[in-house]
Chains A and B, each alone.
Chain A
């Protein structure tokens, strides 16, 4: 049996700044994971992904990232996404400093 579809967000890097971005419900890009739209339907997620990939003048490397729904919006389920949402651990740089 195929694996059950787990909740996802659409994420990428911004073309010009390079920083991590997420897609919101109204189709805008946000720097903040908690504002991202959580996709729970696989077919819907695939269509949204195609649409996001087409926005190549805004975003690079678009993909679906696993999340869990938390009290304050989506939370990463893998440590890689935790770093992407936060920034590096050796300096207070990136999102942890900017947001």
Chain B
């Protein structure tokens, strides 16, 4: 894992010192809120419905046990004993007091973490595949590239007042687990004729105008990455609309100007910028890569694992559902569900954070990951240790076997916390999970992703959910719109709106009807919801969602 250089540590310390003074000046009245707001946002501090909210970056979703323990400490010392992991691999604290935030930032700096550029019109926390360095299908570890981009983008003088926020995601696997096609820039590490390089995708995004990203360069040589990214952001910085914040993201710039025009401008700017990159960036990348060397995997028998599978059906169900294939023999990737039925998606108590930190230290080479799906990952676990890990997780409410299933729901904080929200998300997620747990159907249903957003900004990724739910305010009442057929992977697609929305009371039964329709329509248990949807299309689901309309049509 990356360790701060002296420069990094001094930079973060200096920024924290500045922010401490800014808070003091805000409290003593020397700064107005209008003056202070951009400063606090640059340091990840929002004001929400009930309190301030501090958003802390977990760069490319990677952290070590010490860092996880410090996150637990912050939760207990300055918050209400828990934290909320987000769809952009950040953690949010919902209850800090303004005067405490400088101390929280200093505590984060002690473990080489920060909240810089987790908000504001800057390049945000760079996200990556949460299985980076571990996945069996991986071509290259995306984290060194993500770290390089973090260093390049942090406090980049040209990019501190962008037209709007800017999000970058990197994957090193052909199976995209980083939602690269729904980012302002998505980077896919690829190989061509034995040469490593990148496919650059631009102009993806969700929100009010969802767009799937377009390939702007199909093969970018490794050494060209930073000047090329700089060219893209630079072109958008000039062209991007500042007159209307709903039209300011790069997806709109690409849409309005056309991909060819953007390519032309980017290539011209790239030609200017390329000579300025002397190769220092590549030297730095090499240094970073060395810090991400794989741990020393051990060669040991997996008999204990196989015996536990045979002996304990609960363990077997957990292993079958929550483990993923590791690139090293005898190892597994462990996904820890933060979606216990009826709990808040993505929340972990301080105690749970410590348990996960301890498990990572004892069994997982000290590494943890946060997924954009709001779960925690132990990327490197030897299979013989799985029974012990599972037993520990069970004791702390962390052994729910539901990764990728209907109750593994992404949900934004919604109107329970967020000042922008138009409806609640969390209670809907809780009710769906509880309902399908009671039905004991979710393993039979199989892979099905529900994603819920509490407003059009789509932090809950509803557009790319197999079933997407969007909470709106319709004449002063919460109302939930359903989209179907979205896909967050390499075959990314925006879901189709099914029809009129449902009230908070109607939405769970509506989801149940969709699932019943799927179970009726599917050709067999091996055909997933998305495959069925792609085969049969919207009509049977629409009929299930709006039975009264079908009856009326027949009557007429």
Interface residues of A (CB under 8 A from B): 13, 15-20, 56-57, 60-61, 77-80, 83-84, 87-91, 93-95
A-chain residues with CB within 8 Å of residue B426 when the two chains form the complex: 88-90
27 residue pairs of the A-B complex, CB under 8 angstroms, read A16-B98, A16-B99, A17-B51, A18-B48, A19-B50, A19-B51, A20-B49, A56-B29, A57-B27, A61-B33, A78-B476, A79-B473, A79-B476, A80-B415, A83-B50, A83-B424, A84-B50, A87-B50, A88-B50, A88-B416, A89-B427, A90-B344, A90-B426, A91-B344, A93-B95, A94-B50, A94-B51
| Cβ contacts under 8 Å, A56 to chain B | 29, 32-33
- With A61-B47, A83-B416 given, is the CB distance from A18 to B424 under 8 Å? no
Whole-angstrom distance between the Cβ of A82 and the nearest chain B Cβ: 10
A-facing mask of B420-438, CB < 8 A → 1, else 0?
0000101100100000000
Given contacts A17-B51, A83-B49, 15 further A-B contacts (CB under 8 A): A15-B27, A16-B27, A17-B97, A18-B51, A20-B49, A20-B50, A56-B29, A60-B47, A79-B476, A83-B50, A87-B50, A90-B430, A91-B344, A93-B50, A94-B51
Interface check B52, CB cutoff 8 A? yes
Which of A60, A61, A90 has the largest number of chain B CB atoms within 10 A?
A90
Write out the residue numbers on chain A whose beta carbons fall within 8 Å of the beta carbon of B99. Answer: 16
Q: Please, how many angstroms separate the alpha-carbon atoms of A13 and B478 in the complex?
A: 24
In the bound complex, what is the Cα–Cα distance between A87 and B415 (angstroms)?
A: 10
Residues of A within 8 A of B542 (CB): none
Is B236 interfacial (CB 8 A cutoff)?
Answer: no
CA distance A57 to B32 in the complex (A): 8
Cα A94 to Cα B33 with chains together (Å): 23
How would residues 51 to 65 of chain B score, 1 for a CB under 8 Å from any chain A CB and 0 otherwise?
A: 110000000000000
What residue of chain A has the Cβ atom nearest to residue B419's Cβ?
A61
Give Cα A77 to B477, complex, Å. 11
Cα of A77 to Cα of B475 in the assembled complex, Å: 11
Task: Assess A84 versus B49: contact at CB under 8 Å? Given A79-B476, A90-B426.
Answer: yes
Closest chain A CB from B514 CB (angstroms)? 24
Q: In whole Å, how far is B47's beta carbon from the nearest beta carbon of chain A?
A: 6
Q: 0/1 per residue, B1-33, Cβ < 8 Å to A?
A: 000000000000000000000000011110011
Contacts of B478 in A (CB 8 A): 79
B32 to chain A, nearest CB (A): 6
In the assembled complex, the CB of B462 is this many whole angstroms from the nearest CB of chain A, namely 19
Q: Which B residues from 147 to 191 make CB contacts under 8 A with A?
A: none
Task: Verify A90–B427 contact, CB threshold 8 A.
Answer: yes
A91 touches B80 (CB 8 A): yes
Return the chain A residue nearest B26 by Cβ.
A15
Given A84-B49, A88-B417: A57 and B29 interface contact (C-beta under 8 Å): yes
Known: A78-B476, A79-B478. A18 touches B47 (CB 8 A): yes
Given contacts A57-B29, A79-B476, contact A16 B97 (CB under 8 A): yes
Which residues of the other chain, A, contact B473 by a CB distance below 8 angstroms? 79-80
4 closest Cβ contacts across the A-B interface?
A88-B416, A18-B51, A18-B52, A57-B29
* A93, B32: Cα distance in complex, Å: 29
Closest Cβ–Cβ distance, residue A47 to chain B (whole Å): 20
State A89–B344 Cα separation when bound (angstroms). Answer: 10
Contacts of A94 in B (CB 8 A): 50-51
| A contact residues around B26 at 8 Å (CB) | 15
* Residues in chain B near residue A60, CB distance under 8 A: 33, 47
Beta-carbon contacts under 8 Å, B30-50 to A = 32-33, 47-50
The chain A residue with its CB closest to the CB of B49 is A84
In the complex, per-residue mask of B333-344: 1 if CB is within 8 Å of any chain A CB, else 0: 000000000001
Residue of A nearest to B344 (CB): A90
Q: Identify which of A79, A84, A88 contacts B477 (C-beta below 8 A).
A: A79
CB of A18, distance to nearest CB on chain B (Å): 4
Chain A residues with CB under 8 Å of B52's CB are 18
Interfacial chain B residues near A17, Cβ < 8 Å: 51, 97-98
Q: Which chain B residue shows the least CB distance to A62?
A: B33
Report Cα–Cα, A3/B431, bound state, in Å.
Answer: 39
Whether the pair B415, A93 counts as a contact (CB closer than 8 A) is no
Q: Is there an interface contact between A18 and B476, defined as CB atoms closer than 8 Å? A: no
Give the chain B neighbours of A79 by CB distance below 8 A: 415, 473, 476-478
Of residues 270 through 315 on chain B, the ones whose CB sits less than 8 Å from some CB of chain A are none
Give A3 to B458 CA distance when docked, in angstroms: 33
CA distance A83 to B423 in the complex (A): 11
Chain B residue, CB-CB nearest to A84: B49
Measured CA separation A95–B50 after assembly (Å) = 8
Q: Which residues of B contact A20 (CB under 8 A)?
A: 49-50
Bitwise interface map of B from 124 to 148 toward A, beta carbon under 8 Å scored 1, else 0: 0000000000000000000000000
A85 → chain B, closest Cβ, in Å?
A: 10
Chain B residues contacting A84 (CB-CB under 8 Å) are 49-50
Q: Are B416 and A89 in contact (CB under 8 A)?
A: yes
Identify the closest chain B residue to A17 (Cβ). B97
Q: Contacts of B476 on A, CB cut-off 8 Å? A: 77-79
Residues of B431-479 at the interface with A, using a CB-CB cut-off of 8 Å, are: 473, 476-478
Task: Give the residue of B80, B97, B98 whose beta carbon is less than 8 angstroms from that of A93.
Answer: B80
B479 smallest CB distance to A (angstroms) = 11
Chain A residue with minimal CB distance to B417? Answer: A88
Known: A88-B50, A88-B417, A90-B344. A18 touches B80 (CB 8 A): no
**Least Cβ distance of B156 to chain A in Å?**
29
Taking the closest CB of chain A, its distance from the CB of B117, in whole angstroms, is 22
Interfacial chain B residues near A61, Cβ < 8 Å: 33, 47
Minimum Cβ distance to chain B for residue A83 (Å): 6
Contact B27 A18 (CB under 8 A): no
Give bound CA distance, A83 to B426, whole Å. Answer: 13
User: Which residues in chain B, 75-103, are within 8 Å of chain A measured between CB atoms?
Assistant: 80, 94-99
Residues of chain A within 8 A of B424, CB atoms compared: 83, 89
Chain A residues positioned under 8 Å from B47 (CB to CB):
13, 18, 60-61
